[in-house]
Chain A
């Protein structure tokens, strides 16, 4: 009996406490923020937006150093990346992008921000414009890689009806995507603040700089696409009609010219022009940067580019030196009299030329060479870099070692001497300068930047003023205004120490291509530039190269450059009393891990769309030539 009473009492207790408290099941969660909390607080909306900024894609950047080694700018001195020099062609799916998850979240952001009532109109307007800026940038990134993609401008939601066909959208024409990007940026430019000191968020300058670049891309695809008629689709998803080129060039020029009125200027702070060029990328008191991805020490948002790529000698970790710029790039930096020439390592009769200092070989060239590349005989963080491959005897025999800073008995006295640099180069040994060069651009000279535990807060500049000038120069050149083009180009060149101005007659397509190559190396432009000029299959044509292929046609747009070459310095070991003893001599090499030339096929111009995407959406047409 007592038992029944207990049971009854328990039942009563459960029902009474359970029933009369609806709030029990309606508690506010403590671990997530609800929509009404987020969208009524400007700080929280800003952090949602911050997440969208954070996910903005870059193919090559300081966060993905190895991507530079896919082409002829650099060699990857890291065992796990040698394959980049050993593959016989690029996969059709390389550089693919189909990120509709990201686009959906941007669209959702806009929808919810629009509906929000708890934030001020001014803040809302700016947030919305920023989201549109990011969305335009993401569509630009898609169209660069994939051609026309479906333009989805609102969040799509499945209704579970069993018929998803209303969610299936066909690909837009390639020019429609470019038009969308240009139109959006044109519309938001006056909503965004015109503050030249705001670099990490979208500004008027950033919108216009992106517009200029996008219009220039569309223009050159329209113009140079005519040379590769196979790279097109009948529906216009790939390829832009040639008669649209002029209109896009005009848009590019006027957008770039509008950026010039905003107050940006070229970074000219340090008296040493090479050092000045290197500082553009790490000095944040910078009138040149327009839109950047920023990093900050001790904030969780730091970048490891310096850890990965610092010179191996005296590096702050037992690593570094991964990215080795190639001789192909180094020799493109022209001489101060505006002429091109291979580096003088041999005289006309085939004898090696001697230098008393390895850096002398590179003297009298464009200051951007020093600012982009760590050359043998120069310094980083106040230390030498110790790049030398060994001793060379007068008969050509070489004494070297397989370890960094390795020793051998040089003169038979029973004592060992160092016979190779602490940064190499040693064939096949990762982290040594296997091309004879290390990268300087974007390396952080701050103490500790090379430590895994500290890393660096150097930002990644997506848009800078010099590129805007070069975009304007290219558009003006294509529109026949060579005088105007020369003016813009000379500004950029003068900053690099090329003070003898180019005349209007000097401006050729080769010059345009070359200037971007040296000014914008390691800034993520190369692949997309080569694609839009339809030069990629010419320059990376899969032909094996010889040294004479390398040293000819320097400064030409269609120069074949399929394999990364290096230049190794040797100390000359003559008789100790001979004045040439300990001189420096140089040899052109191909690092051992390089086994295959780069081959860019016509099917690589637009990355393959995943078969799963095509299977689930029959409206998507395949890319040409795959």
Chain B
């Protein structure tokens, strides 16, 4: 009988059951994860280009002259201009947003959610072909959508830039996964429904609703003028709050207790936090339009709800902290825990910052500035993306039955991401406040538009540096992932990785038989 380090037998039925579940998820989940990491790299490149363009407007505005002349010889008229147009800031930036939001974040969320769902339902994945088909459709949609945005077919509605035919594809793909999720839930092994399952079920349910409504009211049958703005930000904010956040929290509520081997501090609080999030988050969208052309009652209710977000956020923060208490040394040992705990801490920060940004006075200063961009990166990167990284570090070895090939690459990834995102949020926050203060105080003669641009320039340059750090981190991550998928990592035998004494225990009996 094989035992793990702690002397616990590892060939139990539980272990076999998990192995079966993992084997059933292998193809769709690995495909989702691999494709999302591909889009992460593409999205980072676009983000970096857009960032450089903000402090160096002549960077990459057109193809090099010699190449343009060469291309002109054999391509139809207008090709060169068409390509030049693709490189303009106003197209690269939405391409960046949509690639990272849908290509990376949503796809990795789906991969992680599918794995978590199967594992928590303790049942092998049902209809893996359906999930794989959804994944293929999803990726085709992202590819077409990216080309459409670069080619000038963007809808110019923030967070929904993909043209209508792409949103239909995404919606269908998403609906397939949602139906799968419900089916999976129905066919789960009887027993308690863990809080992560609540979060995932809710997210799988909310997002198609959000996405469908927003697309209908904004793109397929657009409603009038400024009511569009409110639907736009109702969607934009809820995509974060009711899709990325629940998946991120589902992963955090599973991986933190699971990795350190200690149940969540207060399960009651975790359930409470879930329902409080559902209640308050959905009202928050209006705080994107403070001072905008909308009724005051609407904006005010959004501000109130934003402040109420303190409740679920603090509940979650306290809960995670108390779970981790006494186990912080585990951060040295576990890559998953490092990323997930970083993400969970950032969730608290990002949410508190977000709530504070709903105050009218603070909002009027920061609203149209880089401060907001810093905030969205704190939310989507420091919180959500970091948790996805952590989850992937846990999931992939269990699906490939291999260890990660390189510790160094994991460390480069973690520190590159951590320092990169901290730097980015810092410089954008400070730069944004300076920008907003100068913008709103034109009576001071020094606060000309010229000076605003000159003063924010070094901050934007530092942001590009942080982007380069993230790029390095992502390349290290992608490399490690490619290697493990190609079968480079050390092979491990059982379904329970890391616990096994494969090096010592399993080797010893062999020696004795010799």
* Same complex origin of A and B: no
Binding site for A on B (CB under 8 A): none
